[in-house]
Amino acid sequence: MTIANDTERASLIEAGKRLAAVLKALRAKVAPGVSAEELDDLAERLIRDGGDDPCFLGYTPEGAGRSYPATLCVSINDEVVHGIPNESAKTLKEGDIVGLDLGLRHAGVVVDAAITVPVGTVDEVSKKLMRATEAALAAGIAAAVPGNHMGDVSHAIQEEIERAGFTVVRELGGHGVGDLVHEEPFIPNFGRPGKGELLTEGMVLALEPIASAGKAAVVLAPDGYTYRTKDGSRSAHFEHTILLEKGGARIITAAGAFIFQTMANKNPKEEKTYVMIKPDGVKKGLIGEVIKRFEQRDLKIVALEMFQPSFEEVDNHYPKDAAWIRRLGEKTLVTYEKYQFDAMADFGTTVPEEIGPEIRKWLVDYMLSAPLVKMVVEGTHAVDMVRKICGPTMPYQADMGTIRGDFSNDSPAVANAEKRAVANILHASETPEEAAHEIDHWFGGKKIQSYKRHGD
């Protein structure tokens, strides 16, 4: 689908909000002892109660021998996608991971999204697999900008999954959506930057990273729909419907549709950007890993310095205005909701304006707990390329900048709830204007000196 007018756009956004609400309810329902059929019944009831239609039920994909018999796809552990919830007994057990894939039609518009959810307490590999797959979805969304190519999206997804030590399931992928459940183009989860179809404004896509903890091979079950990993390893699956707009990709099936503004600067001039890393020794070789990724993309490190900031420097780095504090509190509440943590128990409130100052204090204290590394990176599209490498992150100033925990989607809220420190925090400027401001702030107007590795 390509959005042609404001009416279609409004219908698409409303459809996405409705689907997000149903998935939120399904996530909350997941628990040991719950059956896949119960989840399917809940999904259908919530969709129909909203006046919409489930678009998987009765749908016959190209090449299928029969129509799909349920509203929801429920895929447990080694089931990769399209698990049928209502033809055989399937009950969730402690330690399982379960993929929930759902689509609905609202006002004639189809939206599609999926999540993978832990059932009770799961093992560390499964946690890492889910985090990596969700991060791959975010990386693909970051690359989905008009003017890029499909290969940029596919490569971003592939790189995130493989860097985490997992395998891309290559036989399955994303697709166009909007008028129908499955439309052109097919979106592989692997590819080469700069290759494939040109992305244009108005395109509606369903990005769908699918990763395996083992090998990539999958087999189709006798039911004609359920794909399983051939080696029996676990698989994770996340999906969002997105709309390509001038400023980036709008995530339609998020709780509130919002623009993912990344990779949007198409000015090919050479530019500098600012990066700051807080390595605490948990992840060895982090600095070298970051530099290696920059250099692989022909980005040059022109300055690098380890330093211990003062309280004043860090305190002045993070804004204190009410709007930023509120956004910080809102992000924290989103994280708590996502991981089903109790914000009231931790903060004594669920008001963003009251939570924001607590998180800001946490950030300042944490950034003072060990030396930081600051660097200036130079190259074509340096701001956008560095942001892509750093990944999707927390707002730093107004709608600019980043904070990220250990190359994952973790936040201070998650770290605190798991009673651990965020291993590393990586910050990168989001705009050329912010980069200029931060370089001046942190390097104090000093002349930027050339940086070379020992032995170069």
**Amino acid identity, residue 116?**
T
CB neighbours of residue 359 within 10 Å: 23
Is residue 406 over pLDDT 70?
A: no
Least confident window among 264-268, 272-276, 329-333, 347-351: 264-268
337: in domain: yes
Among 259, 282, 304, the domain boundary falls at 259
pLDDT for 283 equals 45
Among 231, 259, 287, the domain boundary falls at 259
Q: What is the percent of the chain where pLDDT is above 70?
A: 83
Contact by Cβ (8 Å): 193, 152 = yes
More confident residue, 293 or 88: 88
> Are 318 and 413 in a shared domain?
yes
Whether cis (ω within 30° of 0) applies to the bond prior to 395 is: no
The domain total for the chain is 2
- Expressed as residue numbers, the domain containing 332 is 270-443
**Amino acid identity, residue 131?**
R
Contact by Cβ (8 Å): 351, 329 = yes
454: in domain: no
At 297, which CATH number? Answer: 3.30.70.141
Cα(455)–Cα(451) distance, integer angstroms: 12
> Are 182 and 287 in a shared domain?
no
Q: pTM for the whole thing?
A: 0.61
At 209, which CATH number? Answer: 3.90.230.10
> Are 237 and 296 in a shared domain?
no
> Are 147 and 114 in a shared domain?
yes
314: in domain: yes
Among 206, 238, 259, the domain boundary falls at 259
CA-based nearest residue to 248, from 174, 138, 403 = 138
> Are 306 and 219 in a shared domain?
no
Average pLDDT over residues 294-323: 83
> Are 120 and 19 in a shared domain?
yes
Is residue 422 over pLDDT 50?
A: no
Contact by Cβ (8 Å): 278, 424 = yes
Average pLDDT over residues 73-83: 97
Is residue 319 over pLDDT 90?
A: no
Least confident window among 72-81, 156-165, 223-232: 156-165
Q: In this structure, is the dihedral angle defined by the CA atoms of residues 350, 356, 362 and 366, taken in order, positive or negative?
A: positive
Contact by Cβ (8 Å): 67, 59 = yes
> Are 309 and 245 in a shared domain?
no
> Are 139 and 228 in a shared domain?
yes
